[in-house]
Amino acid sequence: MSKDSRDRATIDGFSRLSKDKKIAWVSTHYAEDPSSFAEELHQFQHTDPQVQKVLDGFSENTLANFPMPYGVAPNFLINGKVYCVPMVIEESSVVAAASAAAKFWLERGGFHTRVIDTRKIGQVHFLWRGRKHLLERAFPELEKQLRQHVAPLTANMEQRGGGILDIQLRDMSAHEPHYYQLLVEFETCDSMGANFINSVLENFARTLEHFALDYPHFSEQEREVDVLMAILSNYTPDCLVKAWVRCPIAALGSCGPDMDAHTFAERFRQAVRIAQIDPYRATTHNKGIFNGIDAVVIATGNDFRAVEACGHTWATRTGQYRSLSQCRIKEGVFHFELELPLAIGTVGGLTRLHPLASRSLEMLGNPSARELMQIIAAVGLAQNFAAVRSLVTTGIQKGHMKMHLLNILNHLGADEQEIEQALQHFSDKVVSFALVRQFLEAHRQHKEMAKK
């Protein structure tokens, strides 16, 4: 028998309980100490009930808020404009590393970026048991009807310069019997566009079914279209942005003790090359890029799962998972770049509803989606530069351990003097929770004895 006292109860209608009752139920059945559990959840409500209501509206069965650190990386010079970039991330050293890289490139011309394209994708997947050539022949008429029927939905977006760019019929029946799809390309301007795209696609699904029913050249069997699903694709290879930094190798300066700029540049290039050829390294390398990207994506109220999923698919576009960034050295110039798809928005979704997402956008000068794509790509590149620079010079543990040590000291309630002494003591030693506690206890005992 487990010693766990929790009764693992089940419940019907949980979602209909008030928040207080939800907390009480979860505390009673799933907490080790129900009253402290409930108290803590109550402490994590926002002080302003209106804001709490907004936050609760983002999800379901909410009990409390789960705070994450909200920081900034200043000094980002991107295409000649300086940004102070908001970042939401729970991992220590990430914001410090992005800030250090931003400062480094601030003095070397900054980041350069370019949006390559902004096309989004959606699909209607359907089964059709008929003669392919007839469907292909009917397609121009079908396309006309698809566009006509969806016109009330797309009018607004068209006024903003967006809408449906292209509709293709794809025969996928070689992979799955009777399987076809409509592959649709969209321009969604400053919105990420998920709702717009999905509404259009569902409208397409209905038009497609009706079209087949009424099309005079189809046989009885061909009148039946079975729409399996209509949904946007998070793989948006044509919603693409590029960021790069470059400078003469000599301008890289000294890169730590015993490493001149040329050695550093070559080691850096090799490290990025390894991430191009080895998926084990590529995964970690790209994870470092997403440390920066996700942090800004979250801070601006965008969907980091969508951005990550897309980025990782893009990283496999050659048939092997590879680094998203590339480095080259040519005629004495160090060039480092990142190219990836980023489907994000600056209107709609959470971007304006979440109070801090809205503040993040304000801090960035209320950018368009295109500008935000470029800021995010620059941060991803900066994060990658910082990580690889540490790896090929000092190793990352040095920076990480200092942050880790500070976290432990904070947790143990160390005062300023204790922090200073601990930083000195652990500057050349391994950091662990137990060792830091031991150090503090000894230090405190020593101080007590000195008082007596």
Residue from 120, 312, 400, 404 carrying the catalytic annotation: 400
> Is 91 noted as a catalytic residue in this protein?
yes
Closest CA to 412 of 437, 446, 442, 434: 437
Q: Is the CB of 95 or the CB of 142 nearer to ligand MEV? A: 95
Q: Is the CB of 163 or the CB of 380 nearer to ligand MEV? A: 380
> Is 400 noted as a catalytic residue in this protein?
yes
> Is 443 noted as a catalytic residue in this protein?
no
For 79, other C-beta atoms within 10 Å of its C-beta total 14
Residue from 187, 190, 202, 303 carrying the catalytic annotation: 303
Question: Considering the complex, what minimum distance in angstroms separates the CB of residue 286 from ligand MEV?
Answer: 8
Residue from 20, 90, 91, 107 carrying the catalytic annotation: 91
- DSSP state letters, 276-291: HH-HHHHHHHHHHHHH
Q: Cβ distance 297 to 307 under 8 Å?
A: yes
State the Cα–Cα distance between residues 285 and 311, nearest whole angstrom.
Answer: 13
Using CB under 6 A, list all residues that contact ligand MEV.
91, 284-285, 287-288, 291, 387-388, 391, 396
State the Cα–Cα distance between residues 435 and 405, nearest whole angstrom.
Answer: 10
Q: Is the CB of 286 or the CB of 360 nearer to ligand MEV? A: 286
Q: Is the CB of 138 or the CB of 324 nearer to ligand MEV? A: 324
Question: Considering the complex, what minimum distance in angstroms separates the CB of residue 383 from ligand MEV?
Answer: 8
Residue from 19, 103, 287, 402 carrying the catalytic annotation: 287
Residue type, 69: P
State the Cα–Cα distance between residues 60 and 15, nearest whole angstrom.
Answer: 7
Question: Considering the complex, what minimum distance in angstroms separates the CB of residue 391 from ligand MEV?
Answer: 6
Give CA angle at 408 (405, 411), nearest 5°. 150
Q: Is the CB of 103 or the CB of 287 nearer to ligand MEV? A: 287
> Is 21 noted as a catalytic residue in this protein?
no
Question: Considering the complex, what minimum distance in angstroms separates the CB of residue 386 from ligand MEV?
Answer: 8
Give CA angle at 208 (207, 209), nearest 5°. 90
Q: CA–CA distance from 351 to each of 58, 71, 128 (Å)?
A: 12, 17, 40
Q: Closest CB to ligand MEV belongs to which residue?
A: 288
Question: Considering the complex, what minimum distance in angstroms separates the CB of residue 93 from ligand MEV?
Answer: 8
Write out the catalytic residue numbers: 91, 287, 303, 400
